[in-house]
Chains A and B, each alone.
Chain A
Amino acid sequence: MKVVLRNPRRELDVPAPKTVAQLLTRLEVVPESVLVIRNDTLVTGDERLRDDDVVEIRPVMSGGAT
C-alpha cells in the first residue's frame, strides 16, 4: 500500500497491515497527532487496510509559541 506523509510531503510503499491502528504503530506515529485519510475520507483506527489502498497520514499539530 502507499502511505502519503506531510510536512514535508513524501510517499512510502509498505505492506498493508490489518488495520489503520497497526499502520500507525508500525510507523511509530501517535494517533492523537494525526488524521488518517483514505480516498478523501477519514478512517478510524479499526478500519481494515488493503494492499491497493492509498492512505494519507496528516499531522494536526500546529501553532507558534503564543
Chain B
Amino acid sequence: MKCRRCKAPAVIDVRRHNAGFCADCFTRHCREQVRRAINEHDMFDPDARVLVAVSGGKDSLGLWQLLRELDYEADGLYVGLGIGEYSDRSGDAARAFAAQRGWTLLEVDLRDTYGFDVPAGAQAIRRVPCSACGMSKRHVFNDAARSNGYDVLATGHNLDDEAAVLLGNVLRWETGYLGRQHPVLPEAEGFVRKVKPLVRLSERELAAYCVLTGIDYIVEECPMAAGNRHLGYKELLNGIEERSPGTKAAFLFGFLERGHERFAGDAVEEREDLHPCPECGSPTPGDVCGFCRLRARATRSIPVEAIGVQVPEATP
C-alpha cells in the first residue's frame, strides 16, 4: 500500500478514508484533523490557556502533543484515582511524558485532596467504579481548571468514545444527555469551557500517532473498566465499521450536524435549574452536588443523614 499523499510506502491504513499514509503524512493528517475540529466548532482562540486532562493513555498524551505541535499554550493535569498499580503506572507515564518535554503537569491526588479514592467511592455508593470515577474526574477537572486560571479544559475523547456514548444515549433516548453531547460545552457560572479536539480522530488513529511519534503510553486497560457497557458499544460499532467503513464517523458527525440541535433545549433547561452546591460551590440541580454526596459516603466524614443524601440502590 502506498501513501495517498506522497506515494511512499504506507505504515497505516485508514479504511474510512479509503487511504494509507506514510509516517510523516499520517502525523500531518492527525494535526489537520485536530485543527479542523478546533476551528469547525470554534473551540478556543490561538492565545487561550488550555489545560489538558491526561491519564497516561494514548488519547490524552496524544492530544497534549498535538496541541503543542499546533502551537497552543497547553499544560497537563493528572488526577491520581487510586486504582492500585494501574494508577501508579499511569501517573509514571504522564510524569515521564511531561518531564521529557519540559512541559507543565499539574497533579491532584483524589485521596490526598478529598480523602477517598475511586475504589472506595464505588464501594460506598454501590455503583460501578466508572460511575464514581467519572463523577470525581468531572469535578476535579473543572475545579483545577478554574482555580488555576485556565480558559478551557480539553479532554481526550475521540471519535470512537463519542460514537459509543451517542449509541448509548440513543438506545435509551436520553434527551438531556443528547442535548449536552457536543465537542464543546460552553463556559457558564461555575463551569469552565470544555472541549474535545480529538472528535475527528478514531482511537486507532490516536494509537498509531503515539507509536509513530514515540509516545510511551499505557497500553493496558483500566482494570475497573473491563466489561463495561461503553466498551460493549465500541465493540458493536467496530463490528459495523468492519462491514461498512465510515459508519462511525457518519453516525457521530450526522448527529452533530443534523440531530444535536433538536435536543439542545433539554440541556439548556437542565443548566437553568443549577445553583451552587452548599458544600463546594459547584453547580448542581440538587441540594448537595453528586461529588460531595459521593465524598461524604466514601469518607464518612460528614454524616450522610445530615445532608439528606439518598444513595441509589445497587443495580442487580
Contacts and interface: CB of A to CB of B under 8 A. Distances in A.
Contacts of A47: 1
Interface string A31-42: 111110100011
Contacts of A62: 57-59, 203, 221-222, 225
Given A30-B242, A65-B130, A65-B228, A60 B207 contact: yes
A45 interface: yes
Contacts, number: 100
Interface string A51-66: 0000000111111111
A42 B242 contact: no
B215 interface: no
A41 B1 CA distance: 15
Chain A contact surface mostly: loop
Nearest to A40: B211
A46 interface: yes
Contacts of B128: 65
Contact of B204 (A6, A32, A37): A32
Nearest to A6: B219
Q: How large is the interface on A (under 10, 10 to 19, 20 to 34, 35 or more residues)?
A: 20 to 34
B131 A33 contact: no
B277 interface: no
Contact of B11 (A41, A58, A63): A41
A63 B230 contact: yes
B234 interface: yes
B231 interface: yes
A65 B230 contact: yes
A34 B160 CA distance: 13
B220 A6 contact: yes
For B57, B129, B231, which residue has the most chain A Cβ atoms within 10 angstroms?
B231
B146 to A, nearest CB: 19
Contact of A66 (B15, B137, B221): B137
Contacts of A46: 1, 13
B231 A42 contact: no
A64 B79 CA distance: 15
Contact of B131 (A42, A58, A65): A65
B242 A32 contact: yes
B138 A35 contact: no
Contacts of A44: 1, 10-13, 20
Interface string B209-235: 001100000011110110011110011
B133 interface: yes
B208 interface: yes
Interface string A2-42: 00001100000000000000000000001111110100011
Interface of B: 1, 10-13, 15, 20, 23, 57-59, 128-131, 133-134, 137-138, 160-161, 164, 202-204, 206-208, 211-212, 219-222, 224-225, 228-231, 234-235, 238-239, 241-242
24 contacts: A7-B221, A30-B238, A32-B202, A32-B204, A33-B204, A42-B12, A44-B10, A44-B20, A46-B1, A60-B58, A60-B207, A61-B221, A62-B57, A62-B221, A62-B225, A63-B160, A63-B164, A63-B231, A64-B224, A64-B228, A65-B228, A65-B229, A65-B230, A66-B137
